Amino acid sequence: MPLPASTFATYQAIGNREDLSDDIWKISPTETPFFSAIDKVKATAVLHEWQTQALASVDTANAVLEGDDATTDAVTPTVRLTNVCQISDKVARVTGTQQAVEHAGRDDELAYQEMLMGQALKIDVDTILCGVNQTKVTGDTTTARKTASVLSWIATNDDHVGTSPTTPGSVTRVDGTQRAFIESQLKNVFQLIWVQGGKPDMVLVGGFNKQVFSTFTGRATPTEDTKSKKIVASVDAYESDFGTVKVIASRNVRSRDCLVLETDKWAVAHLNGRKMVSQNLAITGDSRQKQIITEYALVSRNEKASGGVFDLTTS
């Protein structure tokens, strides 16, 4: 039935107020599994340094004569390692007019944009640390400093087709031909880490290979709750012969990698006063700026405690 003649409807109305919800729905992910799981420590210089220690090799001929004089054993010195502090930032800029008008869903536009930039920066850092094949760069007046990522450190315990870093932290990993992810690769890495003395507690893997992981036989058997009509077929924990690890899907690792990590053997060192700092920038016109900045280095306390399965297919 058509609208009666001369009936005034919303289609002709000019003065109707808008109906704009005060809710803002953000779908972008904010998880930072690696960055959130590891220790945060302090750096006091651009070049951050630390030491690792190993015991002497096993001596199977360790037998001495009764009453014999003691013989001094050789000392195993510490190893001194370094990484470079990288600077990362995000800048929010809002005009005076936009700051002055009324907004839906937020009272202060600059503060809202500052919050979004802070979340984005944290994701940047997590991805740089564990999802970029990057070695340290000392930098100069025209080249930005870069911190060596996890992929540059892991060299001892990996199952791969390409080439592991020959000098951990100083060279990048060389990717090889991709192959399907199978459980024997993972078991191999667990055993390699165990031989070195590591006790991994977390596996980070991309979305596709997280689903592959859920098919491995070493996981718990899928169950069905008849009351809730829910089938549980995913893997949140994996019980290997050498301990149980959490299995976490991460959007920030490379989809071709599966990282097997002892999280307390990794840390982020923030330079003094530079841990996710928000600061006002100079006013240069009719706008206001906020810079969210951080300066940090990845600390690999001992890469032999972790490992990875690399060069995996992603579809």
DSSP letter for 137, please. Answer: B
Q: Are 87 and 125 in contact (CB under 8 A)?
A: no
Mean pLDDT across 173-199:
97
In degrees and rounded to multiples of 5, residue 259 shows phi and psi of -95, 130
By mean pLDDT, which of 35-39, 48-52, 188-192, 224-228 is the weakest?
Answer: 224-228
Q: Kindly tell me if the per-residue pLDDT of 12 is higher than 90.
A: no
User: How do residues 275-307 score in pLDDT, each as one tens digit?
Assistant: 999 999 999 999 999 999 999 999 999 999 999
- Could you tell me the pTM of the whole model? 0.88
**145 contact partners, CB below 8 Å, separation of at least 6:** 46, 84, 85, 86, 87, 137, 138, 139
In degrees and rounded to multiples of 5, residue 307 shows phi and psi of -170, -165
| CA–CA dist 47, 250 (Å, integer) | 29
* Res 227: pLDDT: 61
* Res 11: pLDDT: 83
The mean pLDDT of the chain is 91
Helix (H, G, I), strand (E, B) or coil at 171: coil
Q: Kindly tell me if the per-residue pLDDT of 225 is higher than 60.
A: no
Q: Is 150 left (phi over 0), alpha (psi -120 to 50) or beta?
A: alpha
Indicate the pLDDT class of residue 222, thresholds 50, 70 and 90: low
Indicate the pLDDT class of residue 229, thresholds 50, 70 and 90: low
| CA–CA dist 257, 300 (Å, integer) | 18
Indicate the pLDDT class of residue 15, thresholds 50, 70 and 90: confident
Indicate the pLDDT class of residue 226, thresholds 50, 70 and 90: low
Cα radius of gyration (the chain): 27
| CA–CA dist 201, 262 (Å, integer) | 5
**219 contact partners, CB below 8 Å, separation of at least 6:** 213, 235, 238, 239
User: How do residues 90-136 score in pLDDT, each as one tens digit?
Assistant: 999 999 999 999 888 888 999 999 999 999 999 999 999 999 999 99
Percentage of residues of the chain with pLDDT beyond 70: 95
Q: What's the one-letter identity of residue 299?
A: V
Mean pLDDT across 42-55:
94
Locate the domains of the chain by residue range: 33-51+78-309
Number of neighbouring beta carbons within 10 Å of residue 54: 13
Buried b (16+ CB within 10 A) or exposed e, 219-247: beeeeeeeeeeeeeeebeebebeeeebbb
Cα atoms in the 13 Å half-sphere on the side-chain side of 133: 16
* Res 228: pLDDT: 58
Indicate the pLDDT class of residue 196, thresholds 50, 70 and 90: very high
